[in-house]
Amino acid sequence: MELKGVYTAIVTPFSGGKLDLKALARLVEIQIKAGVDGIVPVGTTGESPTLSFEEHIKVIERVIDTANSRCTIIAGTGANSTDEAIYLTNEAKKAGADATLQVTPYYNKPTPEGLYRHFSAVADKCGLPVVLYNVPGRCGIPIPVETIVRLSKNRNIVAVKEAGGSVERVSAILDLCDITVLSGDDSLTIPMMAVGATGVVSVVSNLIPGELKEMVDAFASGDISKAQKLHMKYFPLFRDMFVEANPIPIKTAMAIRGLIKEEFRLPMCPISAKGREVVIAAMKKSGI
User: What is the set of active-site residues?
Assistant: 133, 161
Beta strands 18-19 and 14-15 are antiparallel
The three-class DSSP label of residue 250 is helix
Residue 154 DSSP symbol: S
DSSP symbols for 86-123: HHHHHHHHHHT-SEEEEEPPPSS---HHHHHHHHHHHH
CB burial string 31-68: b at 16+ within 10 A, e below:
bbebebbbbbbbbbbbbbeebeeebbbbbbbbbbebbe
Alpha-carbon span 252 to 275, nearest angstrom: 10
Q: Are 112 and 147 in contact (CB under 8 A)?
A: yes
102: β partners: 132
